[in-house]
Structure 1
């Protein structure tokens, strides 16, 4: 089957202010329409909104951060075996609850694509857990065959895919909580994702390839030699035009969804690319690694829009689904920081400089 592009939703110009409530520059309406979401507009935005604030979240390193679909909550998963959920209140995160129950590290989590109350966690304890923030309880625990490291929720909300350290991907019915299918792969499986149309399933692998399967048939469609070394992560643009991959070669590659060809590379990082995130409008791509900065690029040109300084490697980033706010979490550097303060913090970039 062909790989179809998702429906493009046109961006709308705000009447007078941007998402963060500011107008970069003092241009008139006509020029403002021209500049809306242009590289100049975005750089001006970050000049006034470049503050990063950190929030205590866990007692150990944070492995994963993700926003709910409505942007009201941020969830984090940690080496301390817990998940935390924060409420976004104006320019700060307020911890709402801790979620306990896993017997090992929470390596990745994600939210339901359209229900802002449900999220799922993947753990090394060979289970996944589905949580409901309304009751603050685990509504399902699903046993799996191995130590889980990657998880994603299908765009239609019906299926959860989880990958483990033995390169097995299990597809779980989100309503019955039973396994629908299981695939053992002969290569190292890294990050996994559906395309926006829910009819293809993508895997990045240790050979530098992107493997594409039809869904729900799970038949091989194509294997793309994307990178000369380990292909680590993959993310789809919310607009359905592109997807991006990050690799151990320190490159980020941008791919056309329709043509399955690489349209450009981003090469400002020096270390293996661990994490990627597209902004809600598909115009910005954040990428991070062991470099002590997060690169924010304009998708259409590859140009650098901003550089978020970090004091240690960054292994998870997530753009807010409605605003130019970037959540991220860094490694804990033993001996460099006050461990009681630095361990397990979640950070938020894009806040007003005067906040």
Structure 2
């Protein structure tokens, strides 16, 4: 079995007891972040999945979105007026993923359906590097040190790239499509959700299986140990801030929670609204929000018990969700735009 994943050092923050969660958020209103010019240009064509990806920077002072209109927008969550935001252009197709460097507040990576990853300095609004030829890419994840980026593409191709080099560092072929990946906190392994519903545990940067059953399997089967929690494609994986749980979401409308000590599936959460496209833990690891694509509403559950805690009402499905890294603020997609609900508890 693979060893457990070491968590990062957490900054002390005020927690929110489960009994108070619903009442706390019922008193708050969500804030829309939208560009009227974009809404006008896209009248009649934007849908609930127009916003493809949401990402916070490490300090929670910026939040970026990637859209089907080929643009990226970086917002100051405290200033929702569009004039305080930054628009980044350069992709020739839909921006499928955005992700801030985990150790650099102003370095943003964007992944386009054009098979290009672009690296941005959001302070200067400049593209500082790009890597082309990544095929029909669908997901990416930074290693925890912010030194390299792992990109997955249709057909099972994995590409390791650097923000400072314009060519691929290395490539690897997987048995099937890989979806949204997650790194262990020490960066030595990566969890890769697969089309067959399983999650492989691979070394990094070697990308070789590192977990195996201690006995011989039938000749037609590999003795590689994989995480089994879904009966449909597994679309996303997310490691808790404490490193104690790995959450996976699938096309079967289930979130599975695995204990990283023994890698057993501890709980499954099934009261969700269709295929799970994104998962996000609160900064303290106590709660999980699941972004689903078939019906309105965002369900929040307790990571400890798996119990339902709260439902955020939305007008449309919200496949992209992201908790802020330092406070109880949830960014999510609704009606094709960004909304954020929450309060900086440090200011209370």
Q: TM-score range by the shorter chain?
A: 0.7 to 0.9
Unaligned runs of 5+ in 1: 15-35, 331-341
**CA distance 1:93–1:189, shift in 2 (3 Å):** farther
**CA distance 1:351–1:2, shift in 2 (3 Å):** closer
Partners of 1:10 and 1:106 lie apart in 2 by: 31
Residue 255 of structure 1 is matched in structure 2 by 258
Partners of 2:90 and 2:9 lie apart in 1 by: 40
Residue 19 of structure 1 is matched in structure 2 by none
| Cα shift at 1:73 | 0.5
Residue 237 of structure 1 is matched in structure 2 by 240
**Matched ranges for 1:177-256 at <5 A:** 177-221=166-210, 222-256=225-259
| Cα shift at 1:9 | 4.6
Residue 32 of structure 2 is matched in structure 1 by 54
Partners of 2:140 and 2:81 lie apart in 1 by: 24
| Cα shift at 1:13 | 6.2
Partners of 1:194 and 1:264 lie apart in 2 by: 21
Q: C-alpha offsets along residues 9-34 of structure 1, whole Å, 9 cap, x if unaligned?
A: 567465xxxxxxxxxxxxxxxxxxxx
Partners of 1:153 and 1:235 lie apart in 2 by: 13
Residue 19 of structure 2 is matched in structure 1 by 40
Residue 167 of structure 1 is matched in structure 2 by 156
Q: 1:86 pairs with 65, 72, 75, which one? A: 75
Which runs of structure 1 show a deviation greater than 6 angstroms over 4 or more consecutive aligned residues?
A: none
Residue 265 of structure 1 is matched in structure 2 by 268
| Cα shift at 1:81 | 0.5
1:72 and 2:57 are equivalent in the alignment: no
2:254 and 2:268 in contact (8 A); partners too? yes
Helix, strand or coil for the counterpart of 2:30?
A: strand
**CA distance 1:105–1:269, shift in 2 (3 Å):** same
**CA distance 1:10–1:157, shift in 2 (3 Å):** closer
Residue 222 of structure 2 is matched in structure 1 by none
Unaligned runs of 5+ in 2: 211-224
| Cα shift at 1:214 | 1.1
TM-score, L = length of structure 2: 0.86
| Cα shift at 1:93 | 6.3
1:277 and 2:283 are equivalent in the alignment: no
Aligned residues: 317
Residue 134 of structure 1 is matched in structure 2 by 123
TM-score, L = length of structure 1: 0.84
1:349 and 2:341 are equivalent in the alignment: yes
